[in-house]
Structure 1
């Protein structure tokens, strides 16, 4: 068992975590000032979203210089201090790395634009027009065509994401050498691993064929997701960087089936430590379409979670467990109740996550039950994906009020509000104007939550302690109980020595279920549990974790 399989990761979105200089943008010194808070929480690793030099068209995922810290976040000296201070507290640092694309302001791309003969031109994916049009019908993740025409070259470049983010050509060995050189630079700084952004998209079908558009998922991804050489590229990174430096690595693997996720994460293959997959957070995509006012059935959600638990466990893969991140709306607003039962809901989601097999991730604010932004006007959004989606909805004739309601539910801007430290105007995040302003003042903050009896923060601390000390939670097999139950999610972790049972009521009504004799309470999100005559009554959004005697 590796240490990172028992530890908990805390994701920091630096722009929104803590501002130290009053410019309204979170920074490295702000993170350093909160390390004691994170140590108190009990986390073992921090995942930092990108802080490299960037024009910021995709909040740092458009990297202009892989070797420089963006001045908005601080200096390289600041970063090295962060590393040292985190390590003093036995906290490892995982850096986010984007290897599928760069910013169009990156030196490589600026050189590539100069001519077809420039040695950097082939660092990117270029194609000539086909009958005066785009080379194929692939769609950008940010809407519209995935191709941008450059008149001076009479060629198109591929951008699976924003138009300012051209895709890299991993078939070019010289590009790969440049990337490995850069990864070694950060390894030599003393970091502890990488989170690899959209890493399963780096290998494209060299023929770049048209997709069918039979479903919303037939948008080109059939020819670049988990592509023909992706595993050999990642194994090469393992041999040269990940393995020798004992790195913890997690790959973002959207649209990836279990069989492929196992390949990425089975240690015998020497690729990645664990996998971020997203099937469970797409359960409310109506007909596979994100930008709808979606609803979900608990049985659909628990089937997805259970499939990944059983099949990854049996085949030697390893899950990264999460409800929230910088690209997802807040789960408390999406799957439970962020109003009357806010505390219970936050604890329920935490317990369900921490009871599963995998490495749990906390996204900043989960531990104080932060909820969605609920912006009411498109002008409050800065996220390009959300703005593009809104415009596309309006162009299709969707009512503006409904379009905003869809964004309130699905936009990733929901998770990017500044961290709420205290009850001041901007929550102690900044003394200036925050880069992203909240719509309403929320009365939850770290300062307030820590004063509450049986608070969410301490509930997370208890779960983190259990993860480190209950072998069943890391090694035990998984079995779902009552898979047809659309109100209560029940599962057990077991081996030949014992069982841990988790039960979670995802409704706002009491639910009574049968309960075997011989279980003791490990943790619950209410005071006491109501057990009588072989049954347990779960109150609204109640969750319990039991261990057999």
Structure 2
């Protein structure tokens, strides 16, 4: 197996709007990040993925870009960015930028020109079509509710927007568009950034003809996803991107790829295909989604969790590499979703971290995860800021669905769960800002904050620090093979890591009850060393272990 810095690293994701505000305007900014770099260095991370900081009207919190080569005024200046990059590199921290090229903002100069007329030189930078009998070109729905098409009176045509109406999709069939994207990527890489996280990169190739999607009796719109995800030319485009840009730099690339299977995922990350290093797959993020999708919440089973993880490990084994995450800026907080954010918040947060940092792949920490930040429950829809939440609430309210049902779904799965400000201390607004925050702080900030975590030697923060250090010191955690133990157990997730002559056993209790675990008889006479646990363990006796609620243990098995 090839060894790479991006396999051995630990990534910390920063959502800048909610990280740290330096000037009191209520919005996190680049200088706020600079202030906290020593905190991140202390944690031990060595790669930062920075969500978009480019010029944007902020319809979708920066994922609607109006100028790819400049910085959003609210976040700072190009000089601030240059200082941030310099300060990160001086601490041996690499910077991964977000690349958002499935769509732009409708305020990008390309689209402003494109709208002017059918024969404008930028018209073909986007996907324009005639309507059908006064209706949109096809029946596709947007990811953010409503039609995926917006009518333009000036030219009597519609443009495609898979997301917000202010996020028109780029036409990757146009060679000029691809050249513009590649030139922009070189612009940033030549300044010294260390790679890209590529937003919904598997949607850039649409099926020719843009046919109607399947539509149920009660559905307002058809499903266009099969005609937009993993399209016919996506691998051609990525191989072209790799040849013209990526291969010329020592960088890390990770693609956000909704709707991929391990078989499809392998096409993106196979070392021999020269596309990407990693993908974010969302099979785990759909584990609690019912037939109606994201907002239809159903119970999940640990065996399903195990099977998803193992399927992706075996699916990419030898040929590719996995990314490991349980939350991000688009997902609820992992301790609220997969752990217990009340009675066992600390224990379950540490247990989930143990899993993420001892499985094979590159772990991603989402800001605030390292102190066990939780989901938030705002009483009023007016307190939410996310366009997906607001559009869903409006659409489903108009269909007569009860407000309490909708709010319960938002509490569980809404993206703003991850976007409340980082809780730095117990002062006003959790020390995030001296002004009025752009979104309210989670009310539990006085109990859960960085200051308290740094004062408590048994905190979640220091547990993360120890996990990251263990990973750096033990190649087996990075490169070791995996085998599941007691696969059908619905309470315990256990697995072995094997590398050269070393073996680790990881045992995780995913629930709030005491649970017995018995080591295989092959290990009964071996000497074992407990590397890390989220509870005090009195001895190394491994016969009939009783795991406490959400307990995690990692043992090193001595071969002799």
TM range (shorter): over 0.9
- Please state how far the C-alpha of 1:214 moved relative to its aligned partner: 6.2
Please show how residues 278-317 of structure 1 align to structure 2 within 5 Å: 278-287=282-291, 289-314=293-318, 316-317=319-320
> What is the Cα-based RMSD across aligned positions, in Å?
1.6
Decide whether the 8 Å contact of 1:203 with 1:230 is kept in 2.
yes
Residues 387-396 or 203-212, more deviating: 387-396
1:69-101 Cα shifts (integer Å, max 9, x gaps): 011000000000000010000000111010000
SS of the residue corresponding to residue 488 of structure 2 reads: coil
Decide whether the 8 Å contact of 2:284 with 2:305 is kept in 1.
yes
TM-score by length of 1: 0.97
Out of 467, 471, 477, the position equivalent to 1:473 is 477
1:455 corresponding residue in structure 2: 459
- Please state how far the C-alpha of 1:134 moved relative to its aligned partner: 1.3
Out of 250, 256, 267, the position equivalent to 2:271 is 267
Residues 215-224 or 497-506, more deviating: 215-224
2:362 corresponding residue in structure 1: 359
State the alpha-carbon separation in 2 of the partners of residues 383 and 485 from structure 1: 38
Out of 222, 232, 236, the position equivalent to 2:236 is 232
SS of the residue corresponding to residue 290 of structure 1 reads: strand
SS of the residue corresponding to residue 298 of structure 2 reads: coil
1:34 corresponding residue in structure 2: 36
Cα 1:111–1:55, aligned 2, differ >3 Å: closer, same or farther? same
State the alpha-carbon separation in 1 of the partners of residues 339 and 74 from structure 2: 36
Q: Aligned residue pairs: how many?
A: 548
Decide whether the 8 Å contact of 2:529 with 2:540 is kept in 1.
no
Residues 460-469 or 60-69, more deviating: 460-469
State the alpha-carbon separation in 1 of the partners of residues 41 and 419 from structure 2: 22
Cα 1:174–1:487, aligned 2, differ >3 Å: closer, same or farther? same
1:274-329 Cα shifts (integer Å, max 9, x gaps): 11111111100012510123321111111111111122114x11111111110000
SS of the residue corresponding to residue 457 of structure 2 reads: coil
- Please state how far the C-alpha of 1:397 moved relative to its aligned partner: 2.5
State the alpha-carbon separation in 1 of the partners of residues 201 and 228 from structure 2: 11
SS of the residue corresponding to residue 189 of structure 1 reads: coil
SS of the residue corresponding to residue 404 of structure 1 reads: helix
1:7-48 Cα shifts (integer Å, max 9, x gaps): 100000000001000000000011001111111111111000
Cα 1:497–1:22, aligned 2, differ >3 Å: closer, same or farther? same
- Please state how far the C-alpha of 1:218 moved relative to its aligned partner: 7.1
- Please state how far the C-alpha of 1:530 moved relative to its aligned partner: 7.3
Please show how residues 327-476 of structure 1 align to structure 2 within 5 Å: 327-442=330-445, 443-476=447-480
- Please state how far the C-alpha of 1:441 moved relative to its aligned partner: 3.5
State the alpha-carbon separation in 2 of the partners of residues 530 and 278 from structure 1: 39
1:129 corresponding residue in structure 2: 131
Decide whether the 8 Å contact of 2:495 with 2:506 is kept in 1.
yes
1:59 corresponding residue in structure 2: 61
Decide whether the 8 Å contact of 1:203 with 1:224 is kept in 2.
yes
TM-score by length of 2: 0.95
Spell out structure 1 runs of 4+ moving beyond 6 A. Answer: 214-218
Out of 508, 512, 515, the position equivalent to 1:508 is 512
